[in-house]
Structure 1
Amino acid sequence: MFAVIAALFFALALVFELAGLAVGGVLTVTTLGTAGLLCVALHLMGLGASWSLLKK
Structure 2
Amino acid sequence: MLAIAAAVVFGVYLLLDLLDTNLGAPDLFNFPTMASLGLLLLALYLAGVGSGPRAGSGSGSGRRFYGRRPGRG
Is TM-score (shorter-chain normalized) higher than 0.5? yes
Cα RMSD, aligned residues only: 1.5
Q: Which runs of 5+ in 1 are unaligned?
A: 52-56
Higher helix residue share: 1
Percent of aligned pairs with the same residue?
A: 31
Q: After TM superposition, which residue ranges in structure 1, 4 or more long, deviate above 2 angstroms?
A: 27-30
TM-score (norm 2): 0.61
Q: Give distance in 2, aligned partners of 1:30 and 1:18.
A: 16
For these two proteins, the number of residue pairs brought into alignment is 51
Q: Which runs of 5+ in 2 are unaligned?
A: 54-73
Q: Give distance in 1, aligned partners of 2:32 and 2:20.
A: 12
TM-score (norm 1): 0.76
Q: Higher RCO, 1 or 2 (CA under 8 Å, sep at least 6)?
A: 1
Match of 2:4 in 1: 4
